[in-house]
Amino acid sequence: MNQVAINPAPWQPVCQRSDLVANSGVCALMGDPSATGPLAGRRSIALFFIPHATPQFYAIDNWDPIAGAGVIARGLVAEIDGELTVASPLYKHHFRLRDGACLEDSNVCLRTYPVALDGDCVSVALAPDRQ
Amino acid sequence: MVKQKLIVIGNGMVGHHFLEQLAARPERALFEVTVFCAEPRPAYDRVHLSEYFAGRSAEDLAMGKVDQYREWGYELLLNDAVASINRKEKTIISASGTTRPYDHLILATGSYPFVPPIPGHEHARCFVYRTLEDLDAIRAASEDARCGVVVGGGLLGLEAANALRELGLEAHVVEFAPGLMSVQLDGGGSELLKNKIEDLGVTVHTDTATELIEEVGGRLRMQFRGDRELVTDLIVFSAGIRPEDKLAGSAGLELGERGGIVIDEACRTSDPHIFAIGECALYDNRIFGLVAPGYSMARTAIARLCGESASFTGADMSTKLKLLGVEVGSIGDAHGRAEGASAITFVDEQAGVYKRIIMDGAGKKLLGAVLVGDTGDYDQLLQYHLNGIELPEQPEQLILPAVDGETPALGAGALPATATICSCHNVSKGQIMEAVQGGCCSLGEVKEQTCAATGCGGCAALLKNVVDEELAALGVEVNNHLCPHFEFTRQELFHIVQVGEIQTFDELLEKHGRGHGCEICKPTVASILASLWNDHIHSKPHVGLQDTNDTFMANMQKNGSYSVVPRVPGGEITPDRLIVLGQVAKKYNLYTKITGGQRVDLFGARLEQLPEIWRELIDAGFETGHAYGKSLRTVKSCVGSTWCRFGVQDSVGMALHIENRYKGLRSPHKIKMAVSGCTRECAEAQSKDVGVIATENGWNLFVCGNGGMRPRHADLFATDLDDETLVRYIDRFLMFYVRTADKLQRTSVWLENLEGGLDYLREVIIEDKLGIGAELEEQMARVIGTYQCEWKTAINDPEMLKRFRQFVNTDEPDEKIVFVEERGQPRPARDDEVVKIAEPA
């Protein structure tokens, strides 16, 4: 099971485990439009579940800034040089699932978020875990 | 700067090559070019003239295009022969009365067919075989004829005999000499050729001199020497060619004793301002009646005009071809006329193979060869001959059938860099090595860059050897592994999956791969699994293997919305269904556009709308169009004989039949097809992977065409097929492609990389050389038998439908997808427009 350090990040329950699709992504709408600070604005997030990998769960921005479209969740999961990535469907840039780095363009990095599983409930900590 | 006036007289293949080569050089700018062409159309491919009967149109055979010449800045005067040359004034006068001055004159007047002066030869039903007009006339005369005779058993004569046979006539060949193709073949070779051709139903009369042709009772009676006769309906003369040298002769240029404009190494005539190239020119007392030497003369003349020092010093007249399906090859001194020459002959009467090599007295050098029935050794023998390579100890091994792979193969390494690999495009081994050194890493890339093996294709196997050897020499490991997760080619993986009956990607990865897989191997394996077992692409183990378009069974557009293309087989649609498409588009505010494949594309559907849209389309009887898949897209068609006054078969009916047959077939890449109802080819079948064109007698099948970025004209694969044979060949062709192609390789590139090329493909599909025909058909039958409309299955499966939620935690739409209106339809908003919309007014 996933080991996630409990930190003071604001966890939000997102969906049930059965909503995730093995070896593929789904998309969730996060954030609170009325809040301020790290929770401000709405944000769509791609959730990936890779049963044979460690860790098994990944949360990453759904917006592909290169394509200018929210499509990351619909990308294909690809292992490149031992790293799990998602290939964005439009222009096929690869983004590393663990830290969001774009393999083809070092100036681009997606935000990634901690994921926790509590029973069947999948939660995401919205505060960026890096940057 | 005053431009030099260059006049080119004659626009055949060689004249065209001259103009094409000149246009590619910077020196082109030095000349003002005028072209006179006696025929009503610019240059066309006379080498493939016979294909005109097999469905190729005049446009297909065209080489010189009026627009192209205009683009090159040439003045082209069609239907206007040059009547006289005034060398003193340096002017020419054309038949229409045009006078033009010149600085340089190029004579590319070609040749005319020789018609023996037999009494009666001018009868209206006596023809020659030279121009498209000749072929039109022969075709017209064949309509109420039963029998046709070709006078002349040379190369062109046998082609003409085949054409008569294909026009449905009882065909005869009458040859004056004791054997067929007496220039290229020795007695033994030509005897075997005769037997083989007679087996195909063409009657051959050798040693036969025609003395008289007369009309008797509406037919033609041919009186032969020795009191024999033959009654026929039409006669085609193909008794050799004569150089077209009248214009040159009347201008006082030096001619050969038996005709031909005398040229020197520079291709200059006896007047230094006048060049002669091609079949009208006589070099070293020889006429060169092949295209390659003509091209070589054209390049020489251009080089000289540009002040370079190229020379034409004769050419090798070796040939390899297929006549009426019989392979024939002739190299160098086929008759062994050289002093002290000795020969080795191999004959296999059962298989119908004759091979003979002619060596010098010492048995060290290959002087010539004759091959009939099997030309597999041609390339290697030609290289021995052209490069003067010393023969092995036991030269007979070169033509004997291989015993345990004992045949000594002439490695590409034995060839000097100057060796010509491709004689059609004059590409040397050195140029190929340079291309590889310059970064070409595959056969396809080398072909594209050097043009090698893109003419007759005969050198493809040798080319591959040279490329492989050079890659190895550079230390480039030729790694054709699919990706880091599978150390196999796609073809090998296909075999592994088939033999091991592997059903899932995970199983394959566990047994034969490593890691997690990537965007190369996942869709490739998914495609192989679908081709073999044809599960729904969304059934549990296959989820996550497909690219987004296959995953959501729609085509993602730039803003993340999708387009939807329902199948409209053959482009035929009822008004009611057309109305449904309109109603659905209107209801969901979709942008509509007619596609090139005769369907309607509906753009701008949001992910979560796809199932609702499909529910409505399926209720109205539509099926998925697989526009998102590496699979059959559409079969385009014209209305055919049902409506069109020119149509000869029901092209829409056939298009419907094959579209419904192959819909849903997953393949290495997308497949496009078309069916045309007559040779006018309104469905553009010759730009498709599979193209079918109706003939009076059935269907002609074209394969491996492509449009798009790298257009490729399809190859004529088989002619006059009945419905059943057509479908059988397509079954086998598609399955063979599915089995053996590389990932994301269209049929056009696949064929270019297929060792043995089109001939090999015919052997596999038509002759069933590999003995897999029935298996391929069976495999296709399984795919056809398990077809399901993927969308119909999906909308009835709640688990699959869960995939089409925009967000797993809310039903809200994606607010980032914004449309604006343009020309009465929606389109994705641009970034600046989105901001405007977001800002409060």
Please report, for the domain that includes residue B444, its CATH number.
Answer: 1.10.10.1100
User: Is the CB of residue B560 less than 8 Å away from at least one CB of chain A?
Assistant: yes
Instruction: For residue B604, count other CB atoms closer than 10 A to its CB.
Output: 23
User: Is the CB of residue B608 less than 8 Å away from at least one CB of chain A?
Assistant: no
Task: Tell whether B358 is covered by a domain.
Answer: no
User: Residue A84 and residue B516: Cβ atoms within 8 Å?
Assistant: yes
Task: Tell whether B350 is covered by a domain.
Answer: no
B107 & B250 share domain: yes
- pLDDT band for B717, please (50, 70, 90 cuts): very high
- Dihedral of alpha carbons B636, B638, B639, B642, sign: negative
Of B773, B788, B803, the position where a domain reaches its end is: B788
pLDDT of residue B405: 46
Instruction: For chains A and B, count residue pairs whose Cβ atoms are closer than 8 Å.
Output: 95
CATH classification at residue B716? 3.30.413.10
| Cβ proximity of B505 and B529 under 8 Å | yes
Question: B828 phi and psi, to 5 degrees?
Answer: -60, 135
Task: Tell whether B26 is covered by a domain.
Answer: yes
B107 & B22 share domain: yes
Pick the closest to residue B490 from B519, B528, B516, B464 (CA basis): B528
Task: Tell whether A56 is covered by a domain.
Answer: yes
Which residue reads 């378009």 in tokens? B549
Question: A83 phi and psi, to 5 degrees?
Answer: -110, 140
- pLDDT band for B455, please (50, 70, 90 cuts): low
Question: What is the helix (H) or strand (E) element at residue B72, kind and residue range?
Answer: helix B66-72
Angle between helices B13-23 and B291-305 (to 10 degrees): 40
User: Residue B809 and residue A29: Cβ atoms within 8 Å?
Assistant: yes
User: Residue B556 and residue A53: Cβ atoms within 8 Å?
Assistant: no
B654 & B783 share domain: yes
pLDDT surpasses 90 at B818: yes
pLDDT of residue B283: 95
Instruction: For residue B492, count other CB atoms closer than 10 A to its CB.
Output: 15
d(CA B311, CA B296): 9
Task: Tell whether B310 is covered by a domain.
Answer: no
Chain A, nearest residue to B540 by Cα:
A22
pLDDT surpasses 90 at B210: yes
B780 & B643 share domain: yes
B784 & B795 share domain: no
d(CA B328, CA B325): 9
Partners of residue A52 in chain B, C-beta under 8 Å = 516
Q: Choose among A42, A52, A90: nearest Cβ to B558.
A: A90
B666 & B747 share domain: yes
Give the number of domains in chain B.
6
* pLDDT (mean) for B685-698: 95
Partners of residue B517 in chain A, C-beta under 8 Å = 78-79
Task: Tell whether B839 is covered by a domain.
Answer: yes
d(CA B299, CA B822): 54
Residue in B505, B506, B548 to test binding to A, most A beta-carbons within 10 Å: B548
Angle between helices B610-619 and B575-587 (to 10 degrees): 160
**pLDDT > 90: what percent of chain B?**
63
CA distance B802 to chain A (A): 8
If you average pLDDT over each of B440-444, B450-454, B488-492, which comes out highest?
A: B488-492
B66 & B204 share domain: no
CATH classification at residue B9? 3.50.50.60
Render pLDDT for B46-59 as a digit per residue (tens, 0 to 9): 878 888 887 778 88
B726 & B766 share domain: yes
- pLDDT band for B109, please (50, 70, 90 cuts): very high
CA distance B739 to chain A (A): 25
Instruction: For residue B576, count other CB atoms closer than 10 A to its CB.
Output: 9
CA distance A88 to chain B (A): 9
Chain B, nearest residue to A51 by Cα:
B516
Give the residue ranges of the annotated binding site of B for [4Fe-4S] cluster: 638, 644, 678, 682
pLDDT surpasses 70 at B665: yes
Residue in B504, B506, B510, B519 to test binding to A, most A beta-carbons within 10 Å: B519
Chain B, nearest residue to A88 by Cα:
B548
Kind of pairing between the strands at B4-9 and B104-107 = parallel
> What is the span of the domain harbouring residue A114?
11-125
Task: Tell whether A6 is covered by a domain.
Answer: no
Mean pLDDT of chain B: 90
- Dihedral of alpha carbons B261, B46, B129, B187, sign: positive
Task: Tell whether A2 is covered by a domain.
Answer: no
3-state DSSP assignment of residue B372: strand
B153 & B9 share domain: no
The amino acid that residue A77 corresponds to is V
- pLDDT band for B398, please (50, 70, 90 cuts): confident
The amino acid that residue B302 corresponds to is I
Pick the closest to residue B734 from B827, B639, B630 (CA basis): B630
Pick the closest to residue B247 from B86, B355, B96, B453 (CA basis): B86
The amino acid that residue B810 corresponds to is T
Residue in B807, B817, B819 to test binding to A, most A beta-carbons within 10 Å: B807
Chain A, nearest residue to B483 by Cα:
A80
Task: Tell whether A44 is covered by a domain.
Answer: yes
pLDDT of residue B159: 87
pLDDT surpasses 70 at B78: yes
Which residue reads 């987004």 in tokens? B548
Least confident range from A16-25, B401-410, B800-809: namely B401-410
Task: Tell whether B380 is covered by a domain.
Answer: no
Task: Tell whether A5 is covered by a domain.
Answer: no
pLDDT surpasses 50 at A129: no
H helices of B458-597, where? 460-473, 490-499, 505-512, 521-533, 548-552, 575-587
**pLDDT > 70: what percent of chain B?**
97
Partners of residue B539 in chain A, C-beta under 8 Å = none
- pLDDT band for B120, please (50, 70, 90 cuts): very high
Task: Tell whether A41 is covered by a domain.
Answer: yes
Render pLDDT for B380-390 as a digit per residue (tens, 0 to 9): 888 888 888 88
pLDDT of residue B841: 38
CATH classification at residue A38? 2.102.10.10
Of B223, B239, B255, the position where a domain reaches its end is: B239
| Cα dist from B32 to B24, B95, B101, B336, whole Å | 15, 21, 11, 48
Q: Choose among B551, B805, B831: nearest Cβ to A68.
A: B831
pLDDT surpasses 90 at B729: yes
Which residue reads 């296909």 in tokens? B494
pLDDT surpasses 60 at B244: yes
pLDDT surpasses 90 at B576: yes
What residues of chain A have any CB closer than 8 angstroms to a CB in chain B?
Answer: 14-15, 19-24, 26-29, 42, 44, 47, 50, 52-53, 63, 67-71, 74-82, 84, 87, 89-90, 92
Render pLDDT for A60-74 as a digit per residue (tens, 0 to 9): 999 999 999 999 999
User: Is the CB of residue B514 less than 8 Å away from at least one CB of chain A?
Assistant: no
Give the residue ranges of the annotated binding site of B for siroheme: 682
* pLDDT (mean) for B748-755: 85
Least confident range from B529-543, B583-597, B676-690: namely B529-543
B35 & B77 share domain: yes
Partners of residue B547 in chain A, C-beta under 8 Å = 76, 89
Render pLDDT for B645-655 as a digit per residue (tens, 0 to 9): 999 999 999 99
3-state DSSP assignment of residue B39: coil
> What is the span of the domain harbouring residue B447?
411-478
Chain B, nearest residue to A31 by Cα:
B809
Give the number of domains in chain A.
1
Of B209, B224, B239, the position where a domain reaches its end is: B239
pLDDT surpasses 80 at B1: no
* pLDDT (mean) for B25-40: 92
Give the residue ranges of the annotated binding site of B: 638, 644, 678, 682
B538 & B562 share domain: no
d(CA B383, CA B396): 16
B540 & B553 share domain: no
Instruction: For residue A93, count other CB atoms closer than 10 A to its CB.
Output: 21
CA distance B683 to chain A (A): 32
Residue in B516, B546, B818 to test binding to A, most A beta-carbons within 10 Å: B516
pLDDT of residue B63: 87
- Tell me which of B58 and B137 has the higher pLDDT: B137
Show which of residues 229-268 on chain B sit within 8 Å of chain A, judged by CB atoms. Answer: none
Task: Tell whether A3 is covered by a domain.
Answer: no
- Dihedral of alpha carbons B192, B194, B196, B198, sign: negative
pLDDT surpasses 50 at A130: no
Which residue reads 């509590």 in tokens? A118
CA distance B560 to chain A (A): 6
Contacts of B421 (CB under 8 A, 6+ apart): B415, B427, B428, B429, B432, B452, B459, B462, B463, B466
* pLDDT (mean) for A13-40: 82
User: Residue A21 and residue B544: Cβ atoms within 8 Å?
Assistant: yes
d(CA A34, CA B436): 62
ipTM above 0.95, yes or no: no
User: Residue A71 and residue B516: Cβ atoms within 8 Å?
Assistant: no
- Tell me which of A130 and B832 has the higher pLDDT: B832
